[in-house]
Amino acid sequence: MRHSSFYPSIISAGFLGFLLVNTALWQSVAIGSILAILFLCLFGYWIGQGVASSEKGIGSWWIGLWMLLSSITLIGSIVYYLFAFTKEISLLLACFIPPIAWWISRHTHKGWFERAHEYFSGAKHHVPRSFWIAVCFLICVLIATVTLLTSASTTESVRSAWQTVSPSVFIAFGSALLLLITILFRGRERAITLPLTITTLFVFLSVVSLVFPIGFGFDPFIHKATEQHIAEFGTITPKPFYYIGQYVLVLFFHHGFAIPITFLNTYLVPILTAFLLPLAWFTAAAHLFHKKSTAAATLGAIFLLPLSSFILTTPQGLANLWTLLLILASIPYLVRNEKPRVWPLVLPAIAALTIHPIAGLPAILFVTLLASDPKQNGNRSLAKFIFWATATIGSILLPLSFVAQSLLSSGTTGLNLNNLTNLNPLNHFSLFFANRFSPLIDFIYLYGQNTVFFFVVMSLLGWWTSRKPIHGALRIFLIMTVMLTVNFLLLSTAVDFSFLIDYERQNFATRLIPLALFFLTPFFILAIGSWIERVKSSPISLRITTILILASLGISSWYLTYPRHDAYVAGHGYNVSTTDIQAIHAIHTDAANAPYIVLANQTVSAAAISELGFMHYYGDLFFYPIPTGGDLYEKFLQMNKTPNTQTVQDALDLMNTRCMSTTTCTQPNTTILYFVVNNYWWEAPRIVETAKQSATTWWALDKGAVHVFKYVY
């Protein structure tokens, strides 16, 4: 029976009523969060019914939810570039979505409960007591894992979260993975195992969020400050050419549902990844195999994906997620010619481009290849030409984009073609063997440093063992992997990133490695599923061995997903501490409204933007040394080498001159400079003692954790 328009109208009106009242009067985070969940679940489901009607229940639901978020991202980005993204725009968008979502779903013949029943239905069977016992133990060890992580939370500067947590957390989470993979191996009880997979994946991705309550990394602080600025003023000058897709999504839920920006900036990507990725993985696997039980059993391998970009909310991480979901969502079309077709997938691809171009451009290339695939277009000549032209241009597109950016910003190409003579792929992709005489850490790094090789070999096995129609239909993924590999090799050799600090110059190129592996995910699923199908009919010893190997690799992946400081890796990144924040406010108070500049490391500078916002600019230079490849950061490095008054004077002259050369700069000239030294900096004791001899005054915070030196001219 078709939906009556009465019930959707009542539901939409009730939702909008509560939304507007909460926005105008209550401003309740709890009510707003409930409304946000209802908004995503209900209207995402309605959209999914129309966009992916051939899928059942949750299979169409996650696609609808993803399309809903992509629509908000794209529409909001367009509005932002044309005007501004304000609270009123967010509410207007929230009001228009319910009737549009219902209009999209109006042709469906099935209701929620009927479709959900179809999705989870299977042969009736007795659920053994051991299953429920395993579920209870799994929930308990997940709670224990979260408890151990939160109890280890710190506001001090440390290099890695693993330095603060108890080693017992690995026993707890390792037990959780072992139990989850064991019950997934049954392939049944999907109504229980899917939510458990989602919960376990969320814990997997939430370590730094739980251990570092102030925040972790550098980029999230910058993005949070930008989001707060746009939330207040509706825009920021100059308008960024990218990242706005994430900002729109964060501000939509902040303005519309009263959810704090700090929470969204911390948990948006981990939550979306934990919720959407298992559902997308299962839906894709269900189309690659005839048995849903096999599809469910492969979910244990989801923890072996390169997930490090999903532990923080950054545009790169969000765009990576959108690209991975795009890959998995295309499988029903490629394998069985089912919905969603190609054209609906254009929407999330463009949305990914508004979030971050390094993931967005490959997403656009991918849907272009899908649309022009000769196998789907009767091998027409025009389709062949567009397909192979896209593949050729796409292999050099990212280097070309950096060249274009360099020409616009500096008038130079930013290319060093002489480096191509030294191009050797084996320098980037080689096997790793080492021994630190510690069996556990040696095993972890034996897997971790050979992850690319492992993933590629497994994917090739998946391609080899799959049926010919399957691996023929999935050839686009192999082509995309080759294209991204070529882009990576060119970026890592020919493109000049001299405008960045030394240790960041390979960062842009290495971001393509997980994207290239993501395009091999369908073959990886095929390999895991084929092995599980064989093992299920094998002796129990082989089944147990398979489960233990997957769990061991999963816990290794958990450790490797986060920054480390151990026998193999010397960590150089420190988190923002309360002492850093105290230093920022102490400096600001000491300046007493006089103009000043600060020489400090990247972590302190990120905290300054988070605490003070975009307060002072001298021309195009921020009054803290950001970015790290900028002129002011060079002065900071010079001060670390030899603190002296000449470097201070040079830094002041640099900022004042830059301001005078810019007609829009209204910042008064400054004669005050602060130099911040953290105790973890290389040769900090020498720097501190030398700076004391030249500074006008100085003070220490938290027993010398941070020293602040003031110079006045």
Residues in the chain: 713
* Residue 88 CB neighbours (<10 A): 11
Distance CA 683, CA 677 (A): 10
Which residues fall within 8 angstroms of residue 615, CB to CB, at 6 or more apart? 623
Q: What's the pLDDT score for residue 3? A: 46
Q: DSSP letter string over 612-637?
A: H-S--EETTEESS--STTSHHHHHHH
Are 85 and 236 in contact by the 8 Å Cβ rule? The answer is: no
Are 550 and 301 in contact by the 8 Å Cβ rule? The answer is: yes
- At 5, the pLDDT band (50, 70, 90 cuts) reads low
The SS3 assignment for 448 reads: helix
Q: What's the pLDDT score for residue 313? A: 96
Tokens describing residue 253: 């839920």
The 10s digit of each residue's pLDDT in 122-131 is 556 678 899 9
pTM summary value:
0.94
Q: What is the DSSP letter of 254?
A: H
- Of the given ranges (45-49, 367-371, 523-527, 643-647), which has the lowest mean pLDDT? 45-49
Distance CA 317, CA 336 (A): 30
Mean pLDDT value of segment 143-167: 96
- At 2, the pLDDT band (50, 70, 90 cuts) reads very low
Q: Is 539 left (phi over 0), alpha (psi -120 to 50) or beta?
A: beta
Distance CA 74, CA 320 (A): 16
Q: What's the pLDDT score for residue 420? A: 64
Among 347, 331, 327, 348, CA closest to 339: 331
Distance CA 521, CA 510 (A): 18
Cis check: omega of the bond before 522, within 30 degrees of 0: no
Q: What's the pLDDT score for residue 373? A: 86
26 has a pLDDT exceeding 60 = yes
423 has a pLDDT exceeding 70 = no
**Which sign, positive or negative, has the C-alpha torsion 60, 64, 66, 67?**
positive
Are 127 and 40 in contact by the 8 Å Cβ rule? The answer is: no
Q: How far is CA 542 from the centre of its chain?
A: 36
Q: Which CA distances in Å does 120 have to 113, 115, 126?
A: 11, 9, 15
185 has a pLDDT exceeding 70 = yes
Mean pLDDT value of segment 201-230: 95
Which of 71 and 117 is assigned the larger pLDDT?
71
Q: What's the pLDDT score for residue 472? A: 79
- Give per-residue burial for 460-488: e unless 16+ CB within 10 Å, then b: ebbbebbeeebbebbebbbbbbebbbbbb
**Which sign, positive or negative, has the C-alpha torsion 368, 374, 378, 382?**
positive
117 has a pLDDT exceeding 60 = no
Spell out the SS3 assignment of 527-591. HHHHHHHHHHCCCHHHHHHHHHHHHHHHHHHHHHHCCCCCCCCCCCCCCCCHHHHHHHHHHHHHH
Which residues fall within 8 angstroms of residue 415, CB to CB, at 6 or more apart? 399, 403, 494, 495, 496
The 10s digit of each residue's pLDDT in 366-416 is 999 999 988 776 667 888 899 999 999 999 998 888 777 767 666 665 666
Which of 154 and 467 is assigned the larger pLDDT?
154
Distance CA 445, CA 443 (A): 6
Q: What's the pLDDT score for residue 305? A: 97
The 10s digit of each residue's pLDDT in 626-661 is 887 789 999 999 999 999 999 999 999 999 999 998
Q: What is the DSSP letter of 677?
A: E
Q: What's the pLDDT score for residue 116? A: 46
Distance CA 209, CA 203 (A): 10
Among 556, 553, 583, 405, CA closest to 491: 405
- At 439, the pLDDT band (50, 70, 90 cuts) reads confident
Mean pLDDT value of segment 436-448: 87
Mean pLDDT value of segment 348-357: 96
- Of the given ranges (10-14, 242-246, 506-510, 665-669), which has the lowest mean pLDDT? 506-510
Among 187, 197, 193, 305, CA closest to 554: 305
Q: What is the DSSP letter of 499?
A: T
Tokens describing residue 194: 């899917």
Distance CA 548, CA 214 (A): 36
Among 672, 660, 521, CA closest to 593: 672
Q: Which CA distances in Å does 75 have to 79, 184, 208?
A: 6, 39, 32
Among 450, 456, 485, 481, CA closest to 557: 450
- Give per-residue burial for 132-158: e unless 16+ CB within 10 Å, then b: eebbeebeebbebbbebbeebebeebb
Among 31, 51, 27, 28, CA closest to 39: 31
611 has a pLDDT exceeding 80 = yes
Q: Which CA distances in Å does 447 have to 392, 552, 563?
A: 33, 10, 16
Are 356 and 315 in contact by the 8 Å Cβ rule? The answer is: yes
- At 240, the pLDDT band (50, 70, 90 cuts) reads confident
Tokens describing residue 274: 């934990």
Q: What's the pLDDT score for residue 193? A: 95
- At 335, the pLDDT band (50, 70, 90 cuts) reads confident
Q: What's the pLDDT score for residue 430? A: 63
- Of the given ranges (103-117, 518-532, 549-563, 688-702), which has the lowest mean pLDDT? 103-117
Which of 472 and 252 is assigned the larger pLDDT?
252
Of all residues in the chain, what percent are helix, strand and coil, respectively (each to 5)? 70, 5, 25
* Mean pLDDT score across all residues of the chain: 89
Q: What is the DSSP letter of 415?
A: B
Q: Could you tell me the residue ranges of all domains in the chain?
A: 115-121+129-561, 578-712
